[in-house]
Each structure stands twice: as structure tokens, then as C-alpha cells.
Amino acid sequence: MKKTLFDKVWDSHVVKHVEDGPDVLFIDRHMVHEVTSPVAFLGIKNRGIDVLYPSKTFATADHNTPTINQHLPVADPLSANQLKALEENAKAYGISHWGLGHEKNGIVHVVGPEYGITQPGATIVCGDSHTSTHGAFGAIAFGIGTSEVEMVLATQCIMQPKPKKMRINVNGALNFGVTSKDVALYIISKLTTSGATGYFVEYAGDVFEQMTMEGRMTVCNLSIEMGARGGMIAPDEKTFEYVKGREFTPSGAAWDKAMAYWETLKTEEGAIFDKELTFDAADIEPMITYGTNPGMGMGISKSIPNATDLEGGVATYKKSLGYMDFSEGDSMIGKSIDFVFIGSCTNGRIEDFRAFASIIKGRKKAPNVTAWLVPGSHKVEAAIKEEGILDIIREAGFELREPGCSACLAMNDDKVPAGKLAVSTSNRNFEGRQGPGSRTLLASPLVAAAAAVTGKVTDPRDLMKELAQ
């Protein structure tokens, strides 16, 4: 039977199959952060067990951390407590820990790839649903709950039934002004928020081959938003080039051995998927969401659909639009906005800041906008400074903050107030996600930049054409 990329990585990590039950899957990399680990560490402590493979476990602080004045003590006592718990647990069990203030600190799904922790053909888990990000490297990566975090700490394994397989092909060339974020939001709008539940997705086709590694990370990151267990892209020259020479990447003879395995990681001709979908890149324009789940998105030039044109319950749809204070038939373009957030594990990398800078250059932040620019890590922050992007940011009246998950889920002080509308490069627009009563529009860094300088939802292509002249 011909194997898919997913089969190859999954099957090679099965320790044991339980009769009419799950597979016992060995985990190569366990990423840990401060929110979903304390109770797990407490669990192993109470059982009197040690962490089985500390060298395969990597901790970073990201969800709770403030994005300004990181050198000062954390003001929120609960946040401070969680950060301290992670620090103590990491020390007690001999686990690598890049806490607040550490030079390698950043969002877990940004730093993993930066330091070569993320590698092709690996199984990677973390108590966070956007772990799917690492699938961009041809890894099987997915989010787990706290009990499973405890399981992996204790036994380096997880028990999971093997998901079904889906392949999503996107062919052709991306249109002007269309980014990887738009590709992902487009796919999710077609599948809906539950359309890939039960499946592990492989992304294939021209568009993904052409995409940079950061673009692939953005797409894989969002796989969970259509319910997929995870998403992955076959490793290629771009992947190997990216991974080479990083701190945790093998070198010398170990590199050659790894490459020999990595080069086998592609779906075999004739392999069968449980479901296969194909989209045309020509149909994708810059996207924006209008509702309260990531599937409620559309091309920025379109109008909000009528309930009757969509599948799904009318009552739920109307409740969603009611929360957003939008109406069927509304145009998104021209809507006045209050906040702009550039950052998160979805779009907090250097290419995202380059894209943002390309639009704000020579322009000024709109007076009605509060903007939070949050780099995904200190490494990204350093690159922003090195490339002169910080100067562009300041010239335009913006400020750069320090790394963290920040306004993506607003566990720290970066909360959008009730009723305010935010254009955000993050991954979720659920009710109250960015703060109780807040309203979120998900978009690419280009769309967010355009909104930041005009103060309203704006098609970035209009500003880009201006620049091109």
C-alpha cells in the first residue's frame, strides 16, 4: 500500500497499537509553556514519577508575559505565579527553560523552529492547539490537553487513534497582495470551522511549494481552525536550508543520517487520502473575517453573506453577527476600527513585520487606532532592528513591544476593551477572545497595516498600487 507523508511519520513512531483502541505514539519533541503545564507537573509529582526524557522537553514562557517592561517584576500575581511555577518545575526536572527575559524567549511555536528544535519527520506536541505550526517542516505536530502533557512528561508517549487523512491542493500563482494568511483563511472559509475534524491535513500544490517556510508555518498554524488534528507540508530544499546550522539541528554525520531519512518524507505516487480537495489560487483575494469563528471569513471586497446562503444554523449565525454589530449585506471596507494587533504564532515573524513595514512606510498611524506590534521572539525583535524596520515603525508613529502571545488571547494586559473593533493577525475571533466584549477581525499583516494607517478596513492593494507608482 502506497504511503502518504503522514503515514510515514505516524507509523514510524507507533510503539504499540491497542486492540480496538488508540496507537501509543512516541513523541520526539515536547514543547511546554506556563499555562498548561503546572497541573501536569503537579500530577507527576503526586505520582512520584520523574520526567522520562528531559532532553526532549523544551519550555518557554509566552501566554501570560507582559509585552512591555519585561525587565520589571510581573504585576499580575496569578501570572507571576504561573511563570514561577514553570521556572521551578523546569529546574526540578532538568528541562531547558527560556523564561521571561531569557535571550531565546518567545512564543513557543516561533522559537521551536528558530532554534532547530522543530525538525522534519518528528512528532511534536504541546499543550496548545497551534502546535500544528510545526507541521510546516513535515512533522506531525498537534495540540494536547493538560492530562496528556502529564502523560508525555511521564512516558514520552501519547495515546491517540490515528486520524483520517485529507489532502488540500492549491494550484496556480497567488494574486498580487495575497499572502499565506489569506490562503489559510480562504481554505477555512470553504471547509468551515468543523470541516476537517477527524482528519490530519497535508497541504500540497504549487502555492505551498512556492511559499517560504514562514508562510508554510502560518498555514499549518491555522489547521486547527477548521477542526483538523494537524496540518503538514512535505519537507523540501527550502526546509533543509532553513533547518541547517541551527542550535538543535544535527550536524556532521548526524546531519547526513537525518537527511537520508528526511529525503524520504513525501507522499508516494498513488497513495490514497480519505478526502482530497483542490482549490485555484486565482480565486483567492486578501481575506477578512466578519463573524465569531475563523471560518466566517470572505474576500475583503465582498459583502457579508445572508444566513440563507450558508450551511449551518440561522440562529447561531444571527447571534454571531449581532455580537459583531454587523448586518447581512454589509461591506467590510470602510468600517472604522479601533485596534490593530500584529503578532502571535500565526503572523509574528520577520516576514510579517517586513510586510507590515512595506505598507506603513512613508505613512502615519491613524489617530483613532491603538496599535500593538508584538514580535514573536527576541530573535524576531533583533531582526526587526537590524533590518531598519524599527526605524520605519517609529517614523510612522508606532512602537514595537516585547515578545509574547499578547493580544491573541489577552491573558496579559493587552486586552481590547468591550465593544472595540480590532484588526488582528492572530488566529481566533471568538466572542471575547481578545478581551470580554471585544470584536475581532482576522487578517493578514498587509490588511492589518492598511487598517492601521487609514483607521478603517482598507484593501491593502489600493495602498500597494500607490507605492508601486
Partner 1 sequence: MAYDKFEILKSTAVPLSIENVDTDQIIPARFLKATERKGFGDNLFRDWRYNNDDSPKTDFVLNDPTYTGKILVGGKNFGSGSSREHAAWAVYDYGFRCVISSFFADIFKGNCLNIGVLPVQVSPEFAAKLFAAIEADPTTEIEVNLPTQKVTLIATGESESFDINTYKKDNMLNGFDDIDYLQNIKGDITAFAEDLPL
Q: Is 28 in the site for partner 1 (CB under 8 A)?
A: yes
Helix, strand, or coil here: 293?
coil
Q: Is 157 in the site for partner 1 (CB under 8 A)?
A: yes
CB of 406 vs partner 1, minimal distance in Å: 12
Residue written as grid cell 519537507: 235
CB of 13 vs partner 1, minimal distance in Å: 8
In degrees, to the nearest 5, what angle opens at C-alpha 378 toward C-alphas 372 and 381? 55
Q: Which of 370, 430, 455, 464 binds partner 1 (CB under 8 A)?
A: 430
Name the segment binding partner 1 (CB under 8 A); options: 182-190, 274-282, 391-399, 408-416. Answer: 408-416
Q: Is 316 in the site for partner 1 (CB under 8 A)?
A: yes
Q: What are the grid coordinates assigned to 54, written together?
A: 528531559
Rank residues 73 and 270 by Cβ distance to partner 1 and give the closer one: 73
CB of 411 vs partner 1, minimal distance in Å: 5
Nearest by Cα to 86 from 65, 67, 114, 115: 65
- Identify residues 248-287 at the interface with partner 1 (CB under 8 A): 250, 258, 261
Name the segment binding partner 1 (CB under 8 A); options: 11-19, 167-175, 270-278, 389-397. Answer: 11-19
- Identify residues 94-113 at the interface with partner 1 (CB under 8 A): none
d(CA 297, CA 85): 39
State how far the alpha carbon of 229 is from the alpha carbons of 8, 26, 129, 199, in Å: 17, 17, 9, 6
CB of 447 vs partner 1, minimal distance in Å: 22
CB of 142 vs partner 1, minimal distance in Å: 8
d(CA 376, CA 65): 12
Q: Which of 62, 114, 150, 352 binds partner 1 (CB under 8 A)?
A: 150
Handedness of CA 341, 343, 345, 348 (dihedral sign): positive
Rank residues 11 and 466 by Cβ distance to partner 1 and give the closer one: 11
- Kindly give the residue spans of alpha helices, DSSP state H, lying in 115-236: 146-155, 180-191, 206-210, 213-221
Nearest by Cα to 232 from 165, 132, 160: 132
Residue written as grid cell 489532502: 167
d(CA 339, CA 416): 7
Rank residues 70 and 212 by Cβ distance to partner 1 and give the closer one: 70
- Identify residues 368-397 at the interface with partner 1 (CB under 8 A): none
Q: Is 326 in the site for partner 1 (CB under 8 A)?
A: no
CB of 193 vs partner 1, minimal distance in Å: 6
Q: One symbol per residue from 195 to 234: x for binding partner 1 (CB under 8 A), - otherwise; what is it?
A: --xx-------------------------xx-x-x-----
Rank residues 197 and 212 by Cβ distance to partner 1 and give the closer one: 197
Contact 133, 116 (CB under 8 A): no
Q: Which of 5, 31, 32, 36 binds partner 1 (CB under 8 A)?
A: 36
Within 10 angstroms of residue 248's Cβ, the number of other Cβ atoms is: 14
Contact 32, 156 (CB under 8 A): no
Q: Is 148 in the site for partner 1 (CB under 8 A)?
A: yes
Exposure string of 29-43, with b = 16+ CB inside 10 Å and e = fewer, is: bbbbbbbbbbebbeb
Residue written as grid cell 512595506: 358
Binders of partner 1: how many residues, by CB under 8 A?
79
Q: Is 336 in the site for partner 1 (CB under 8 A)?
A: no
Q: Is 352 in the site for partner 1 (CB under 8 A)?
A: no
d(CA 262, CA 121): 6
CB of 468 vs partner 1, minimal distance in Å: 39
Q: One symbol per residue from 59 to 88: x for binding partner 1 (CB under 8 A), - otherwise; what is it?
A: ----xx-----------x-xx-xx--x---
